[in-house]
A and B are shown apart, each in its own frame.
Chain A
Amino acid sequence: MRIDAETLREADFDALAAVGEQWAAFAAHLTEQVEALEETLGGGLHEDNWDGESAEAARDRIRAAVAGLEQRIGPAGRAAAAIADAVEDFHACRDELEALLSENVDLDDPSPEDAARLAAVLGRAAAVDEELAARIGLVAETEPVGAERLAAADPALALAALLDSGASPKAVNDLWESLSGAEQAALIEGRPDLVGPADGVPADARDEANRRRLDVDLQNLDADISHVEQQLERAERNGDEAAAETLRERLDGLTDTRRDLGVLEDRVDGPDRVTGQDHYLLDYDAAGDGKAVIAIGNPDTADNTAVFVPGTGADLGRGGDYDRVAAMAHDAHEAAPGEDTAMVMWLGYDAPDHPVADAHSLSYAKDASGDLASFMGGLDAANRDGEHATTTVVGYSYGSTVVGQSAKDHGLETDQIIAVASPGMNVDHASDLGIDPEDVWATTAPGDIIHLPGVIDIPLPNGDSLGLGPSPVGEDFGGRTFDSDAMSWNPLDIHTNYWNEGNAARDNMAFIITGQTDRVS
């Protein structure tokens, strides 16, 4: 909407500011209320004072209701911030306009130069107005209201309560399947933040929800970036170097995240052109190194599903992990062109950045182990033909340690496990992985163990060991092995610490994943 000079001069921005202040007060009040209700849950309604199943159920319902209220705090706060920013910027525009007019510019017949200056100021005001509308639009939830909306509020509370209470993916799947198509659609649209990452929700719903989240995140980032750029420009103009430096750092962080999410958006855009399969965005998180769970093909309906857990240094930005998953998907398609094999890249954990410093520590594997187990549980719960589908988890390098830890701590819902270039799976024997040792496969570098310097196995007093367990290709481990023939043809020097499992190994993995283990060599 174009803003004319008169509108800008006469607008009551104090009234706008007042609304912003009320939103801020509202957000603060919500926070108080949430705290008071939580105190009540911890006090008078605590299980010490009130126990039994109905008491627990009531507490759950209250918790869910409180959680629903808590969700409102963020949006109210963002509205307040957006309004405050807009008021400041509007005032600046108005001041500029007044300065211009004090030079006796004739508004009805300005000179070309004055007209340009006027247009610039009014253009900036229009941009401020648009940004305000956009930022409010992202938090306002002004969809058509009615009975359907109130009905949708209950499934959201139920799902939130289920997820808060740490319910199993099976329970989440049961809840999802109990909802009508309209309720499911409303949840995807209204609460994609809940639906997208929830293990147990079917892949197509998660994908739709996560794409929504991604759209909103990208819009928010673009708005934030533009806002910080304006602030930076202002600081630079004012010669405030300290503020400018802070803003530059903030801008760098934002643009890095924007780039990573842009890469993610590209990865899942359109089908894989070799196999024709659609991409499914099953989860992502832009914080930290980034996490992403992307499937080529639908794991709920595929004949075979393989979940690839990458190793050290994996992150959203590098092309390597995704390309490897795509190559595996293509290999499986070549090995069994009449079947549908879904390939999932599970970068669902903070992989260690430094092979030497970090990978020795088991803490990463332990942190990730629950998430991987939950993810596999979710695939299992949502699978439409669990009996006939073949599921395989493939752990590469440190990813295989995560797989081992997860299988040991929680059990993994999988038919087969493949360990590639494993420094150890933190189990002593294949049977510790919770599946038939005949279904545990491993391959590693020719000659000796994976090139993580200094990998040794020293038992510590607390039961951990400095080291990651015996190699899964060792005879004592009890699993099966398959050939790798890394680059026997390569006439060039092989860099130390570099290893790629080779072509024969790819054939073998494709056979295992597509259930053709009789062809493995």
Chain B
Amino acid sequence: MEERVDRTRPERDDPWPRMEEAVREAIAALPDFPGFETRAFGELAGTHPDVVQYELSYTFTLADSETAKVRRDYVTVLERHLPAIGYTIHSRRFDRDGAPRALEAVRPDGINLWYRVLGLVSVKAQTGPMPRDPDYDPYCPPPLGGVTRDRDAALDFCARGYSGEAAGPDPAADPYEL
């Protein structure tokens, strides 16, 4: 295990890439996946100033969110798929009429995946509480699901890496290249 922090690569404990990975793993199993409309990234602050949680959130379009496929069938698929790839389902919530409202499952590394069915349906990845790093300066990972720059609020949270250009990130600056 490396002891020294290599400043030329993204910080080892930057959770964002793992959060994107969790969402990617989840949607990989969804048949006929229609893509995402928006992305957001932010802090979920709690009652301790030195502790923080992060959340990555993707939403479907309103039209897609209204389909039975996205509201119900995808929940069923994830119920089977997530445990198969090592997640532990810990929460299932339903509306009064029995329709699914939420499915939550956690990975061994602590990333929580939340499939949320409200008026809009969203897929969220959350960290558990972590020590706040005042120098947290993440690379922007490119978005999943075809989210365009003008609907990508996550870009407000990162200053380098993917910038939303149509041509894609400069490979010379790609932090994930070895």
Contacts and interface: CB of A to CB of B under 8 A. Distances in A.
Nearest to A518: B96
B102 A507 contact: yes
Contacts of A510: 118
A507 B47 contact: no
B129 A521 contact: no
7 contacts: A274-B38, A274-B153, A320-B43, A492-B110, A498-B51, A503-B102, A519-B96
Contacts of A333: 120
B42 A323 contact: yes
Contacts of A421: 47
A-B pairs, top 8 by smallest CB distance, nearest first, are A320-B45, A500-B46, A323-B42, A498-B48, A490-B128, A273-B153, A334-B120, A489-B90
A451 interface: yes
A37 interface: no
A330 B119 contact: no
B160 interface: no
B65 to A, nearest CB: 7
Contacts of B151: 273-274
A203 B108 CA distance: 47
Interface stretch (B3-11, B54-62, B168-176): B54-62
A338 B48 contact: no
Given A327-B55, A330-B57, 5 more contacts: A323-B43, A336-B119, A337-B62, A500-B45, A521-B93
Contacts of A518: 96
A324 interface: yes
Among B49, B104, B114, max chain A CB count under 10 A is at B49
A186 B153 CA distance: 35
Contacts of B71: none
Contacts of A318: 45, 49
B41 to A, nearest CB: 9
B12 to A, nearest CB: 17
B42 A326 contact: yes
A499 B46 contact: yes
A285 to B, nearest CB: 22
A497 B129 CA distance: 12
Contacts of B42: 319, 323, 326-327
Contacts of B104: 489, 503
Contact of A500 (B44, B49, B93): B44
Interface of B: 38, 40, 42-49, 51-53, 55, 57, 59, 62, 65, 88, 90-91, 93, 95-96, 101-102, 104, 106, 110, 112, 114, 116, 118-120, 122, 126, 128-129, 150-153, 155-156
Q: Which of B46, B62, B65, B128 has the most CB of A within 10 A?
A: B46
A321 B116 contact: no
Interface in A270-289: 272-274
Mostly helix, strand, loop or mixed at chain B's interface?
A: strand
Interface residues of A, number: 47
A296 to B, nearest CB: 11
B78 to A, nearest CB: 15
Nearest to A327: B42
A331 B116 CA distance: 10
A274 B112 contact: no
A504 interface: yes
Interface in A485-512: 485, 487-492, 494-495, 497-500, 503-504, 507, 510
A210 interface: no
B112 A489 contact: yes
Give the residue among A331, A338, A451, A491 with the most B Cβ atoms within 10 A.
Answer: A491
B140 to A, nearest CB: 13
Interface string A392-406: 000001000000000
A515 interface: no
A266 B114 CA distance: 29
A495 B51 CA distance: 8
Contact of B45 (A324, A497, A507): A324
A273 B38 contact: yes
B44 A327 contact: yes
B47 A489 contact: no
B133 to A, nearest CB: 12
A488 B104 CA distance: 11
A197 interface: no
A430 B156 CA distance: 40
Contacts of A327: 40, 42, 44, 55
A360 to B, nearest CB: 16
Contact of A507 (B48, B96, B118): B118
A464 B37 CA distance: 52
B14 to A, nearest CB: 16
B26 to A, nearest CB: 15
Contacts of B62: 337
A504 to B, nearest CB: 6
A320 B43 CA distance: 6
Contacts of A335: 118-119
Contact of B95 (A274, A334, A488, A519): A519
Contacts of B116: 334, 503, 507
Nearest to B88: A489
A495 B129 contact: yes
Nearest to A326: B42
Contact of B49 (A313, A334, A494): A313
A184 to B, nearest CB: 32
B43 A319 contact: yes
A451 B48 CA distance: 9
A504 B101 CA distance: 10
A324 B44 contact: yes
Nearest to B54: A323
B106 A334 contact: no
Interface in A253-273: 266, 272-273
